[in-house]
Amino acid sequence: MSAERALSLKAMERFERPRNYGPLDQWDGHARITGPCGDTMEFWLKVSDRRIAQATFITDGCGPSRAAGSMATELATGKLVKEALQIQQKDVLQALGGLPQESEHCALLAANTLKAAIRDCQERKQTNDRCSECASAECYSKQRREDESEQEYQDRQALTQRMCRIGYKLLVMSGKGGVGKSTVAANLAITLALAGKQVGLLDVDIHGPSIPKLMGLDDGRAVAHDGELVPIEVGGNLKVISIAFFLASNRDAVIWRGPMKYNAIRQFLKDVAWGPLDYLVIDSPPGTGDEPLSVAQMIGQPAGAVLVTTPQDLAISDVRRSVSFCEKVSLPVVGIIENMSGLTCPHCGGRIDLFKTGGGEALAREMGVAHLGRIPIDPQIVVCGDDGIPYVHRFAESPAAQAFAEIVERITAAHQSQLQSSPSEGDTA
């Protein structure tokens, strides 16, 4: 029996004529999530007197996706926000009278997108708790500097307030290209999100953005609302922004000099509706040029750099420069990750060190920084990257995914240690 014929009467009705379909012109909450199946769903919410007065959606998915999105909006409309936040996949399936087993993921995507839109609404309305907690340290300066204009002062205020709501900023760097830095950044962000953290993933590789491809967001486009840029949401607690979301085509080249790149990065940090985040992972281009320098100057504290290398001497010598860069801009080095560290033979199970091994650990000892871990070579990392499927989602039990999980544990421990040893020190942006 086909998926369409297996649908209940109620599901079939919403399959053919979905209710609440289309965006809202004025809304209080918004979310856009692309599921592992490749379907993208987008929700808009209007809230009045703590109840969801109106909920709408769109999807590029199949009939079951339209049915699930329609039913999720119907279930949410009229409910208190806190009640709507409890709507789950099983509630959508039950209200529809079920979906074919191969389409049940559509109900999960609808429930997750609804929750993400509700969280977005709550974030927009709540006061800046993080800033309130550090009010004694004055998380942003109340005095205009002598060398800045009124507009520069207002921009600095907005930037510092935005960064103040982010628990920890992680700048992922590499001394040279080809070491898998963007793959590491993307999978670190996903691993943090899978651990229940609220995470942002910012791609500041202006000339060669890779994050959209790795995350399956090649067709993603940025949305503006009330003077803010709305990031694309993945999985409910991961927000992504990239220069690629502003280009008409993925063939377009960005031909900018330093000042243009600085202004774009400042806008990504200042104007994107990140909301409260536990972590902001920032993927920078190779080297120590305009992009990492701009980020380091603007993100404030607490923050740190994660340096990615491969084991061979050529890559390691460039990472030394990255460590020196971090010292000069007062950005703490969280540690070094050795990527592409050995391959397990699929035939005999033996280990093959294609690019040597242990170089990252030796460099960490030499430079007096932490060695966060080694990520082994797995051909599926390449396949997942090309297909736009996050590797740690698809192969959660693999040695490489386990390595990412252990690295994230060390990063979170380093974050807590930095918080305890380095209290906030006023205006840091």
Distance, CA of 385 to CA of 273 (rounded, Å)? 27
Catalytically annotated residue among 106, 121, 326, 384: 106
Selection from 120, 102, 123 nearest residue 112 by Cα = 120
Which residues, in sequence order, are CB contacts of 316 under 8 Å at separation 6+? 309, 359, 360, 362, 363
Q: Is 164 a catalytic residue?
A: no
Catalytic-role residue among 37, 62, 131, 134 = 37
d(CA 347, CA 328): 47
For 142, the 3-state DSSP assignment is coil
Q: Is 37 a catalytic residue?
A: yes
Residue 21's region, left for phi above 0, alpha for psi from -120 to 50, else beta, is: beta
Dist. CA 29–CA 120, nearest whole Å: 5
* Separation CA 427–CA 407 (nearest Å): 30
Cα atoms in the Cβ-side hemisphere of radius 13 Å centred on 84: 31
| H-only helix segments in 198-312 | 211-214, 258-271, 290-298
- Spell out the long-range contacts of 344-353 with Cβ–Cβ below 8 A and sequence spacing 24 or more: 344/376, 344/399, 353/311
Question: Are β-strands 199-203 and 238-242 bridged in parallel, bridged antiparallel, or unpaired?
Answer: parallel
Nearest 5°: phi and psi at 338?
-95, 105
Task: Indicate the pairing of strand 232-234 with strand 238-242.
Answer: antiparallel
Residues with catalytic roles: 37, 106
